[in-house]
Amino acid sequence: MELFGCFFVAAADGGTSLIALLTIFMLAVFVGFELITKVPPTLHTPLMSGSNAISGIAIVGALLSVVALGGEGEHAGMARWLGFFALVFATINVVGGFLVTHRMLAMFRSKK
Our CB check for a second copy shows the closer of 40 and 73 to be 40
Using alpha carbons only, give the angle 62, 64, 67 rounded to the nearest 5 degrees. Answer: 110
Q: With binding defined as CB under 8 A, does residue 5 bind another protein?
A: no
Q: With binding defined as CB under 8 A, does residue 4 bind another protein?
A: no
Q: How far is the CB of 47 from a second copy (least distance, A)?
A: 16
55 contacts 93 by C-beta, under 8 angstroms: yes
Q: With binding defined as CB under 8 A, does residue 61 bind another protein?
A: yes
What letter does residue 101 receive in the DSSP assignment? H
Q: With binding defined as CB under 8 A, does residue 108 bind another protein?
A: yes
CA gap 79, 42 in Å, rounded: 42
Q: Which does 93 bind (CB under 5 to 8 A by kind): another protein, a second copy, none?
A: another protein
CA gap 109, 111 in Å, rounded: 6
Q: How far is the CB of 91 from a second copy (least distance, A)?
A: 25
